[in-house]
Structure 1
């Protein structure tokens, strides 16, 4: 029950951030926001504040920001979403996912400032490893792998994992010069992954307790690391969701509400073996990943999602006239039906995992 409570609070924060993005962009654009709701289904609490009704609904998944639309007689209200230009409507739609990216960025800043951060720079080359065999040295910085720029250690790990043990081309920065090497990662049975064989440079967060032998991370490096860490989550999420939507993903790559609750609960309990601070950090880490997930998911060009509405706005801009309202409604309905089918698919996968 405690895991469920933490998960609901976390999901609630992500939803509030997302809908607040739509809300503030709409208000600043002069659009009438009739209701700001957290949750879906039956209304269990509501309060009128100014011209907007703020409500909480029974199903604690999702939410919405209902703006003025067409009147009953079919006319468009003066402060309607539809009465605004394509550019304004684009900003209002994009503001929701943007707030999720911003929230993920802020969460990662908090984690980077209070814990340890690994950078793709060699502190020590381990003996008997591929890194030693090709002549990598302490102080070398991983610059590119197979032509892809490396900014943070997580990107390095992801590229090594994707390699599947195949040969890699490493571009290494040493004394302001780039040196190119070819290296084949070595499988480590204990870690169940491929390694190239070096200990990375680690910095202590600005607000973390100082540790002898480790330098404090600077403010600029904190922002740098947090930004590229957020972008890495976005990239990995987009790749994973593309596989889910095309039904090519492995069952372990996706999960629904049950998986989220279990993941949050397991992370919290694992952190509590060390202390409350570590437990909170683990939950915030999951929150950052989920926030990036939510932002990317909503930008996918699927009708009924923000990305689908943005796609239709682009079509409208190209055509220089809006789509037929009935046609647009049918498109969104088909998108909603697809999402409901996908949800059933994901929930089925959750249930199978539980019984397994």
Structure 2
């Protein structure tokens, strides 16, 4: 596959995999659905805008530098709309799971000579770096713009933490289920740990349970206005021996929203929210890399992301801003990782070229690495689509 087409078609692979690689953890429970056509369309619009802006960044960086581009597409699959410009064919396609910018560098039917200075491969390192990084920068700028819009309209969420953590789903046939814990209980104390009203409360409780496998812990639980003391003994995990009781936890917090009173405050609030979301993505990526064996099960693809976006739009329209900003930040960060077929992979080859004094690696080697990475990316992406689809409520049981 020509390197120029890898540069374009990686958009689909990165969209299939990278969106869920970081944000997927905790998004998938026992099942999820895509009820409500309006909410689904809103989630599709968010994903379409995210990938559209990413590819538009590549496109504008190229054309403003006079670099030849032959195709610019939003989506994949059958063409819905197409328009032939002077040099570029613009198209809108059926599946909003990616997009591509096609360069004619290695196209055998290209009207340009191989030594044309306006082919991407013949441009200086600076121009090529600008084109490759423009997609990531476009997503980051859009994410910040979304945060500013949120600050001036529905407001930035500000949690007010209360003592304890809330219990979510209680998995069947687990220590928690046998002990009588219920969804909605507020866990106030775990052994000698008093759960303080803090952002780290969930992590503190998880650490306390993990660090005490096989030891009885006294849980102080608030339920229906009463406090109960429930003994529980975390079961050792067969993977690493750490304690597990089979519950999902959430902060015991009330979410208030602060709306900016003026443009200056909007920028301040948006900046705080932007860096908070970026930190969330980076933390998720770190946990994914350092704790791969456990977190890989929570990785989701575009179907799950659509389901989450639809649920957010259906239950909390204001949360759609945060979802959109998070998706853009996620896509930007994962795309800049130094992995073959992603933007970061291309930057690695450019960096090697710069370190070698402008001497490039063998073209065959670069193509082989990029093609291999592309195939792995696509395989992982398709696998995630299958996994996500089987988790859709109703469909999974139909196929069992």
Superposition deviation, residue 295 in structure 1: 1.0
CA distance in 2, matches of 1:58, 1:330: 30
Q: Superposed, which structure 2 residues align to 1:43-82 within 5 Å?
A: 43-70=79-106, 72=108, 75-82=114-121
* Deviation larger for 232-241 or 2-11: 232-241
CA distance in 1, matches of 2:319, 2:368: 42
CA distance in 2, matches of 1:79, 1:217: 42
Superposition deviation, residue 207 in structure 1: 6.3
* Deviation larger for 227-236 or 7-16: 227-236
Q: Which runs of 5+ in 2 are unaligned?
A: 1-36, 165-187, 190-196, 209-218, 224-246
C-alpha change, 1:118 and 1:62, in structure 2 (3 Å) is closer
Task: Give a deviation string over 1:118-138, Cα, whole Å, max 9, x none.
Answer: 66999x999xx89xxxxxxxx
Contact (CA 8 Å) 1:108, 1:229: kept in 2 or not?
A: no
CA distance in 2, matches of 1:258, 1:63: 17
- Residue 346 (str. 1) matches residue 387 (str. 2): no
Q: Superposed, which structure 2 residues align to 1:86-125 within 5 Å?
A: 86-117=125-156
Task: Give a deviation string over 1:134-172, Cα, whole Å, max 9, x none.
Answer: xxxxxxxx9xxxxxxxxxxxxx73x443344559xxxxx
Describe the SS at the equivalent of 1:224: helix
CA distance in 1, matches of 2:344, 2:130: 12
C-alpha change, 1:45 and 1:189, in structure 2 (3 Å) is farther
Contact (CA 8 Å) 2:103, 2:120: kept in 1 or not?
A: yes
Describe the SS at the equivalent of 2:90: strand
CA distance in 1, matches of 2:220, 2:250: 4
**Which aligned segments of 4 or more residues in structure 1 are displaced greater than 3 angstroms?**
1-4, 41-44, 70-74, 115-122, 159-167, 186-195, 197-200, 240-244
In the other structure, the counterpart of 1:261 is 306
Aligned with 1:295 (options 318, 332, 337): 332
C-alpha change, 1:237 and 1:22, in structure 2 (3 Å) is farther
Describe the SS at the equivalent of 2:361: coil
Aligned with 2:76 (options 40, 44, 51): 40
In the other structure, the counterpart of 1:249 is 295
CA distance in 2, matches of 1:114, 1:268: 16
CA distance in 1, matches of 2:386, 2:253: 41
In the other structure, the counterpart of 1:204 is 258
When normalised by structure 2's length, the TM-score is 0.62
Q: Which runs of 5+ in 1 are unaligned?
A: 131-141, 143-155, 168-185, 209-215, 272-278
Superposition deviation, residue 242 in structure 1: 3.4
In the other structure, the counterpart of 1:308 is 345
Task: Give a deviation string over 1:76-129, Cα, whole Å, max 9, x none.
Answer: 43211111112221121111011111111111222222234466999x999xx8
Superposition deviation, residue 10 in structure 1: 1.7
CA distance in 2, matches of 1:57, 1:81: 25
In the other structure, the counterpart of 1:161 is 202
Superposition deviation, residue 234 in structure 1: 3.6
Contact (CA 8 Å) 1:165, 1:194: kept in 2 or not?
A: no
Contact (CA 8 Å) 2:148, 2:267: kept in 1 or not?
A: no
CA distance in 2, matches of 1:224, 1:265: 26
Using CA pairs under 8 Å that are at least 6 residues apart, name the structure with larger relative contact order, 1 or 2: 2
Aligned with 1:227 (options 271, 274, 286): 274
C-alpha change, 1:240 and 1:293, in structure 2 (3 Å) is farther
When normalised by structure 1's length, the TM-score is 0.69
The count of corresponding residues between Structure 1 and Structure 2 is 296
Describe the SS at the equivalent of 1:69: coil
In the other structure, the counterpart of 1:24 is 60
Contact (CA 8 Å) 1:118, 1:203: kept in 2 or not?
A: yes
Superposition deviation, residue 63 in structure 1: 0.4
Describe the SS at the equivalent of 2:70: strand
C-alpha change, 1:189 and 1:198, in structure 2 (3 Å) is same
Describe the SS at the equivalent of 1:12: helix
CA distance in 2, matches of 1:189, 1:317: 62
C-alpha change, 1:207 and 1:85, in structure 2 (3 Å) is same
Task: Give a deviation string over 1:251-295, Cα, whole Å, max 9, x none.
Answer: 3x3222221222122112213xxxxxxx2x232222111111211
